[in-house]
Structure 1
Amino acid sequence: QSAKRRLQYWDISDKEIKDLEERGTPKKTMTIYSPVSGIVIDKIVLKGQNVMAGMELYKIADLSTVWVQADVYQYELPWVKLGQPVDLELSYLPGKTYKGNITYVYPYLGMESKTIKVRIEVRNTSSIEFKQGMFATVKIESPIVINTVSVPEQSVIRSGERNIVVIALGGGYFDPREVKLGVTADGYIQILDGIKEGEKIVVSSQFLIDSESNLKAAIDQMRGHEGMDMSKPMTENVETKNQDKSKEKKGGIQIKDDNMKNMKKEEHEKTSPLIRAGVIDLKSIDTNKDGKLYQDLMDWNVISDKPGKCPICGMNLKEFTIDEVKVNLEKHGFEYKK
């Protein structure tokens, strides 16, 4: 009984022990069965090696169900919940999707990536298409829906100290608003405070303001003088005296600005042949006869047959067809030879 018990401790099957009892003589070899089903991923024992109790002989993994670890950015965490369904795609099998579920969200961030790992459990295929060490594309579809005010991400000016959205009031007036941001999804960002539904915003404002110093100057300029109601056009009824003074002051500034512009324009016209005056002959400008010209997006009468920069503002000239140049000239009040 003592010998039989020792064999049982070695996980020798009852059938093998019974065969040994009936045979009465030991065998030089014996089959030892694995306690679990799976695939051998590591073989430690060698032929002829002495085996002791507690030694690891093989490592066997059950690959019928695998874990996929996905990296999730911090701002995406509000959309990730336990039990959520997940779609996965393997790079070597494009177009084929697999289903899984989120079973665990790790409670800490990766030190280098600053992302949070999410464990996804996936049922493997019979041909073991999910293999250890593979990369997969993970798509987590959140069932969470929030009815809220949201704006395109590119419409938010981020200075590092605050977040600004520029409101278009109409009549050439703008109102820069400091906003409080929420979660982000599909290129849109939630606005918790600062603007209301239905207000018109400037989407491309961040291309014009590229630093904190420019941001402050632009905001001060858009806001105008303290005490002025920028939501109303200048033609609204105001006190007659103040209106006359404003007109005088505005007129003086306008005359000065116009004089400066005329002086600059005259100076450039003397030095650069790219600035076209009068009725513009586009065919004569197109010297290489390819039907394309280069035009400035601010000074529309600056036209060249070759790439270059505007002599007035310094911007790169953009390529247009001659028909497109004609449309641009008509739109901005310039004449051309028909």
Structure 2
Amino acid sequence: MERKSFLKAVALASIAPAVFLIACSDPGKKEAVGDKKQTYTCPMHPQIVQDKPGTCPICGMDLVPFDKSNKDASLTLGESQIKLANITTMAVGAGALANFRQLNGRLATDPENTTIIASRVPGRIEVLFVKETGIRVNKGQPLYKIYSEQLATLQQEYLLALAQAKQFPDDARFQQIEKAARQKLVLYDQGEAQINQLAQSGKTSPYVTYPAPASGIVSELTATEGQYVSEGGAVMRLEGYNQLWVEADVYPAEASLIRVGQSVKVVVSGWEKEPQNMTVRFINPSLQSGSQLLQVRGSIPNPDNRWQPGMQANILLPVKSKGNVLSLPVDAVIRDGKGAHVWIEKERGKFVPRMVKTGMEDFDSVEITEGLKEGEIVVITGAYLLYSEYILKKGADPMASMAGM
């Protein structure tokens, strides 16, 4: 009997701590275990997920909270959000699409807009009104003043011939001599007003100021003040940049794709959103020295002199085209290593991503071969903002959920 009482006492003693622990435990702990844990991700790298705030180990950005249990693939935005993100849409339609081949090229000065300023008389450069390159001059602006003894001699000859012509107005020979002397001054770039002033004053002057015959940028100075120049000696060079040449290289095998008079697109580096139309004016019939390349050439306008000679420019040659294809603006398609997707507006303010397959592409548009139907509403601007918003709210790449589709 005593043995049974002893065993009961031992059993009660062993059970008592467990009962005490259960009684003292937090009754709400069981419920806390079932609570959802807050998770955080990087807006730029959705593969980074952790259960506490911090920074992204890849880019260093602060992690943002997201609800990983939310499986809804759509995004819903209000009217103000749509306007702020500049989200616009269009209905997908069928049309023609051309493909292009890119030719590497560059901008060059158009010789038709280049003016060589040369001295019309031999003499000494007394004053240079423009003393450095890169200065813009306008037509009629004084460029330099020259001292010319030969000009003074021709002026004196004219005054003598003029006096004889006035003294013997009926003598045709003196009239012809006066005209010949006047013509010499004209050939030395003396204007009508200057010759008339000489005739009225009767005084010769060895100095003559020459104006700019055209507007342009001073690209080279070949004379200095005090320097003697011969007749026809170069003083400076002006270049007009309101129109530029586009020179591009093409392999002989590609020469059949281009012809004189053909209209092509030109893309200047830094202005990819502003392609220019150009007509091919010249195709070099011989290969460039030391290479296996032909050169093609055309010209494009240069408004406000925004581009400079030497800048890179590419010519886009249309090589084939398709008709009746579904196409979208290039910016509407988001691409990464998993493929390409677009955003569809199911109803006003509700957007869902969709995987697509792309085909041929030109500078502005891309063909959609799979994933879209004609008439569907697709986001064409603001697609990348939707992509970022999806990552922020869902904590996942929208392409990940569509990879198996």
Same fold (TM over 0.5): no
Query: TM-score normalized by structure 1?
Result: 0.39
Higher percent of residues as strand: 2
Structure with larger RCO (C-alpha < 8 A, sep 6+): 2
Query: TM-score normalized by structure 2?
Result: 0.33
Bigger Rg, structure 1 or 2: 2
